[in-house]
């Protein structure tokens, strides 16, 4: 059996998400499983090189996970013909220059979202890759989460009938950082607009690909943003002004008539089944979809409540929902998409989650911000 080594530049993966999801659970996970088995005759094996600005962080990360190659000289890594793929998980505001370098070096490009903070810039990066004839992609990990896969299965089986609406609740309480035993769970740049922060640019990019792939194409948005907590404390304990939005309340109109509403907040205490839940209501049935689990209620099992605020509610509404069982072995969502992208680059298999698709997420986020500022519905142009 032939093992084909695939050089992969991992840029900016010293942060929490880059380390845990992309390096450890995806690339190293693929290596630990023995590579990507294409056939009895071929295995694709990732060969990572870590790049970034801080040599000490790179050295520490490489040592901790036994990664042989790392460098602060990204041009040297891009100049190595062995490296076929460039992946970027650095700051959104730095992404463009790295993508430009990768395109100039003729590498396939894979990026975290958002790919930019404006639609114009996101489309420019997509077009750079397209004109150069380079394979490209954007991380859209939530599509492979077990809960969403269970929903897709139910939809394909016709469980819902006609889907009417989707209600999404996302978020949790992020500590402000001023209490010693309650350190902030997210980096301070998330709350500074000037550094590319804000929950609208972060989460509406997710909601765009989730909605487009599962429910229908978004054609309009009405969004209200807010900065509910104006002062937070950075990694050194110093107070700073939170200049970016930390909550967003958005309604999306789809081209098939479905109405979606998503609340996204870093200032909400959780009393629901997961950090993200979506309630999908259809004419024949409904579902509660979490990250890993899914509960359903059919039309026949729907209780008949009667409004009477003068007595305790006699119906336990949780009892009439059934959990969808695991029908498959669910691998890490990021890892699944990584395997698909590597196969796309090497074997020319289909990969529809391109930088242009990523630009649609930026478009929705930008429209959401505009809706908030102008206090009106914003219609989306077709950028496909």
Per-residue pLDDT of the chain (384 residues; tens, 9 = 90+): 899 999 999 999 998 899 999 999 999 999 999 999 999 999 999 999 999 999 999 999 999 999 999 999 999 999 999 999 999 999 899 999 999 999 999 999 999 999 999 999 999 999 999 999 999 999 999 999 999 999 999 999 999 999 999 999 999 999 999 999 999 999 999 999 999 999 999 999 999 999 999 999 999 999 999 999 999 999 999 999 999 999 999 999 999 999 999 999 999 999 999 999 999 999 999 999 999 999 999 999 999 999 999 999 999 999 999 999 998 999 999 999 999 999 999 999 999 999 999 999 999 999 999 999 999 999 999 997
Give me the half-sphere count of Cα atoms (radius 13 Å) on the Cβ side of residue 288: 16
- Smallest CA-to-CA distance from 213 within 334, 353, 344 is with 353
Predicted model pTM: 0.95
Q: Mapping DSSP to helix (H, G, I), strand (E, B) and coil, where does residue 100 land?
A: helix
C-alpha to C-alpha distance for 68 and 71, rounded to whole angstroms: 10
Q: Which domains does the chain have, with CATH numbers?
A: 2-140+333-353 (3.40.50.720), 143-331+363-378 (3.30.360.10)
């Amino acid at each position: 059996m032939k093992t084909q080594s695939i050089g992969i530049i991992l840029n900016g993966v010293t942060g929490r998400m880059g380390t845990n999801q992309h390096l450890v659970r995806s690339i190293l996970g693929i290596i630990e499983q023995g590579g990507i088995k294409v056939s009895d005759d071929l295995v694709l094996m990732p060969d990572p090189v870590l790049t970034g600005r801080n040599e000490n962080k790179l050295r520490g990360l490489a040592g901790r996970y036994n990664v042989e190659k790392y460098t602060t000289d990204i041009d040297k890594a891009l100049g190595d013909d062995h490296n076929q793929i460039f992946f970027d998980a650095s700051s959104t505001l730095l992404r463009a220059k790295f993508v430009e370098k990768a395109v100039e070096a003729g590498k396939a490009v894979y990026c975290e979202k958002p790919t930019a903070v404006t639609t114009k810039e996101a489309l420019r990066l997509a077009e750079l890759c397209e004109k150069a004839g380079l394979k490209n992609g954007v991380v859209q990990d939530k599509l492979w989460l077990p809960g969403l896969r269970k929903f897709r299965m139910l939809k394909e089986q016709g469980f819902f009938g006609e889907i009417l609406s989707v209600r999404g609740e996302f978020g949790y309480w992020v500590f402000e950082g001023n209490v010693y035993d309650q350190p902030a769970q997210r980096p301070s740049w998330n709350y500074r607009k000037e550094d590319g922060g804000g929950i609208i640019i972060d989460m509406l990019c997710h909601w765009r690909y989730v909605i487009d792939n599962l429910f229908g194409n978004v054609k309009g948005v009405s969004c209200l943003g807010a900065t509910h907590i104006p002062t937070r404390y950075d990694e050194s304990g110093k107070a700073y002004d939170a200049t970016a939005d930390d909550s967003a309340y958005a309604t999306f109109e789809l081209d098939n008539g479905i109405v979606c509403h998503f609340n996204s907040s870093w200032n909400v205490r959780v009393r629901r089944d997961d950090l993200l839940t979506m309630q999908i209501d259809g004419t024949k049935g409904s579902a509660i979809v979490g990250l890993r689990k899914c509960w359903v209620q059919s039309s026949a099992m729907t209780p008949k409540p009667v409004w009477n605020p003068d007595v305790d509610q006699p119906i336990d509404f949780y009892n009439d929902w059934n959990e969808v069982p695991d029908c498959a072995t669910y691998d890490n969502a990021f890892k699944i998409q990584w395997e698909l992208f590597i196969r796309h680059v090497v074997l020319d298999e289909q990969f529809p989650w391109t930088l242009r698709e990523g630009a649609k997420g930026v478009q929705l986020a930008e429209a959401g911000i505009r809706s908030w500022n102008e206090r009106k519905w914003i219609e989306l142009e077709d950028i496909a």
